[in-house]
Amino acid sequence: MKKTIALLLTLGLSISFGVCAGAQEKDSNSAETGKLKIVHIVRQTGDVVWEEFMNGATAYGEMSGNEVINLAPIEYDPAEQVQLVQDALAMNPDVIAITPIDPDTVEPLLKQARENGIAVITQEATEMTNHDYDLCFASNKVYGESVAENMAKLCGGEGDYVVVVGSLSNSAEMERAEAGIAYIKENYPDMNLVCDITAPVESSTENVRSLFNELLTTYPNLKALWTHEDLNIAGLVCEENGLIGKLVVIGLGFPSECRDYIESGAISMSVFPPTDVIGGAMCALGAAVANGEEIKTGMDLGIEGYNSVEVDGKIVSGAGLVYHTIDNLDEYTRP
C-alpha cells in the first residue's frame, strides 16, 4: 500500500480513508450534487507547514459545502507525489490544487487533467504550463524585494551575503531570490553577493546543514545568509559556529519552529505567510475557475487575505507576508 494520507470532507462530515480505496470509490459528481469535488495535494504530511495548508483546505470545504480531499506524501518525494496526482485523476474531480515538489514531474499529469476539464491550481510553480493559475501569498517580486530590504537594513547596508533556495528548479523561489538580488544591487551597492544562488543536493537536514556550514567556511566574512527554506537549520548552524550577533540570518521560516533561534538571536527575522488560509485560497480559486468565474484583479475569493487579489497573467497574489522578530514573536507563537 502506498504511504499516503487522504482526508475527505463533505458537508461538514470528516472521514479518513486510504488513498487506494478512495481512488476506486467514485462519489456523485458535481452535476448530480451541485457541489464541486476538489483534490488538494501538498508536499509532505507531518510537516507543520503543510498541515496548516491542509487545515485551510479543510476549513474551506466546511465553509463552502464543496467536497475537499487532502492528499500528502509521507516523504518529500516527487515520485510519491506523482502517484497521488494519478490517484486524484482517478477520482474525477472538478479541481486539482497542488504545491508541486518538482513541477516537471507532474506537468504531464496536470496536462491530462486540464484536457479532461479539470481546473488546475498550483502554488510555488509560476513557470508551469499546465495550470490555470498559480497562487502566491505575495507576488514573487514584492516578496524578494521586501526580504532584501529587511536584510539590507539588518546589515547596515553593507557586507557579503549569500542566497539559498530549496531547489534550483523551484521557479517561485528563484524568482524571489533574483528579485531580491536585483533590488540590493540597485539600492545597496556596498552589499556583495559572493556566489550564485545555491541549493542543497537533497532536501534533508544533513544536506542542508552541510551546505550552510560549507558556505560559512568558504566565505568567512559573510554578514548575511538569506534562505528560502530550512531557516531553523540556518539558526542552528549560526549558533554552532558562534556567529550570533555577527551574522544576519533571514528567510522563510515557520515561527513556532524558529522561536528558540529568534529568541537567542541566531535568527534575525523569520518571514512567513498566513499558511492556515493558503490551502483554502487555492481551493476557492479552483472553484471559481471550475464555475466559470472571471479571474481578475480585485476579486474576492472569500478567504481572509485574499479578499482583493492581484492577477498578473496566470499568477494570482494576495495575503502578503508576516515578519517575525523578537519584538512580535508572542503574537504568532507561544513560548
pLDDT one-digit tens code per residue, 146-157: 999 999 999 999
- Helix residue ranges, H only, 120-204: 140-154, 171-187
Residue-by-residue DSSP string for 222-279: EEEEEESS-HHHHHHHHHHTT-TTTSEEEEE--HHHHHHHHHHTS-SEEEE--TTTHH
Which residue from 269, 272, 223, 228 is spatially nearest to 250, judged by alpha carbons? 269
Q: Are residues 24 and 91 in the same domain?
A: yes
Amino acid code (one letter) for 52: E
**Percent of the chain residues topping a pLDDT of 90:** 70
**Are 230 and 245 in a shared domain?**
yes
Report yes or no on 326 lying in a domain: no
Q: What mean pLDDT comes out for the span 129-154?
A: 93
Region of poorest pLDDT, from 1-10, 193-202, 280-289, 318-327:
1-10
Start-end of H helices in the chain: 19-24, 30-33, 48-64, 78-90, 103-115, 140-154, 171-187, 205-218, 231-240, 255-264, 278-290, 329-332
What digits encode the pLDDT tens for the residues 234-268? 999 999 999 999 999 999 988 888 899 999 999 99
Amino acid at 61: G
Instruction: Say yes or no: 259 and 295 in one domain.
Output: no
Position 330 confidence tier, pLDDT thresholds 50, 70, 90? confident
* Coil, helix or strand at residue 25: coil
Report the percent of the chain where pLDDT is more than 70. Answer: 89
Q: What is the CATH number of the domain that holds 282?
A: 3.40.50.2300
Residue 115 included in any domain: yes
- Check: CB of residue 314 under 8 Å from CB of residue 134: yes
pLDDT bucket at 277, cuts 50 / 70 / 90: confident
- Is 76 within the bounds of a domain? yes
Which band of pLDDT confidence, cut at 50, 70 and 90, is reported for residue 35?
very high
Give pLDDT, residue 77: 93
Query: What pTM does this model have?
Result: 0.68
Q: Is 172 helix (H, G, I), strand (E, B) or coil?
A: helix
Q: Which residue has the cell 542543497?
A: 200
Q: Are residues 20 and 133 in the same domain?
A: yes
pLDDT of residue 284: 97
Question: Is the domain of 228 the same as that of 248?
Answer: yes
Domain that holds residue 172: 140-272
Same domain, 43 and 103: yes
- Residue 331 counted as domain residue: no
Would you say residue 327 lies in a domain? Answer: no
Residue 335 falls within a domain, yes or no? no
The helix (H) or strand (E) run that includes residue 7 is strand 4-10
Identify whether residues 23 and 122 lie together within a single domain.
Answer: yes
Residues 240 and 146 reside in one and the same domain:
yes
Quote the mean pLDDT of the chain: 88
Residues with Cβ < 8 Å from 307, sequence gap 6 or more? 300, 301, 318
For residue 328, being part of any structural domain is answered with no
How many domains does one find in the chain? Answer: 2
Residue 333 forms part of a structural domain: no
Q: Binning pLDDT at 50, 70 and 90, where does residue 283 land?
A: very high
CA dist., res. 242 & res. 247, Å (int): 9
The stretch 170-180 carries a mean pLDDT of: 93
